[in-house]
Amino acid sequence: MTTSMNTSMNTAGRIQLALNVADLAAAVRVYSDIFGTAPSKERPGYANFAIADPPLKLVLFENPDATSPLNHVGVELRSTADMGAVASRFADKGLKHTQSVEDRCCHAVQEKLWVDVPDVPLGAWEFYTVLDDDPDASSGPAADSDGTCCAGDATDEAPCCGTDRDA
């Protein structure tokens, strides 16, 4: 007898794949051609694509000194209610996680949750919802002092915008 397990998260969202790239302009051209769409947002050192089919949030960080092309993986959720449902499920399952109610990252204000996953590069998945998109495109907590976001360097071991997730 075969049984199927419901693996649905019971939330609407899309997978996020955040990559480090050496040349942002070249990567934007390639991914625009691959997915047939332009970026949803571009800033110095940063671009993201909100791809409908397949449902994917592709985020690119210009980080030529990165030791890995993978910056982090995550799930973009549609609402704070979805965030609450995910946090409750993680707590019910005993999964170690941390939550930030208002985090300025990647040129947006977000509610975030990081769940520890031992065998995933960087050790965690990010779950988030955007509360305010691009509150200030050029400065402020959404960006580093030079206007970039999550540039990092070759020695960074924490994912972009997740450096304080253990605090």
Q: Quote the pTM value.
A: 0.70
Per-residue confidence (pLDDT) for residue 125, from 0 to 100: 87
Average pLDDT over residues 65-80: 90
Which one, of 36, 58, 55, lies nearest residue 47 by Cα?
58
Q: What is the pLDDT of residue 132?
A: 79
> Domains (ranges, CATH) in the chain?
13-133 (3.10.180.10)
What's residue 139's pLDDT?
43
Share of the chain above pLDDT 70, in %: 67
pLDDT of 121 reads 63
Q: Which two tokens stand for residue 143?
A: 């960006």
CA distances from 102 to 61, 91, 109, 130, 167 (A): 22, 20, 6, 9, 14
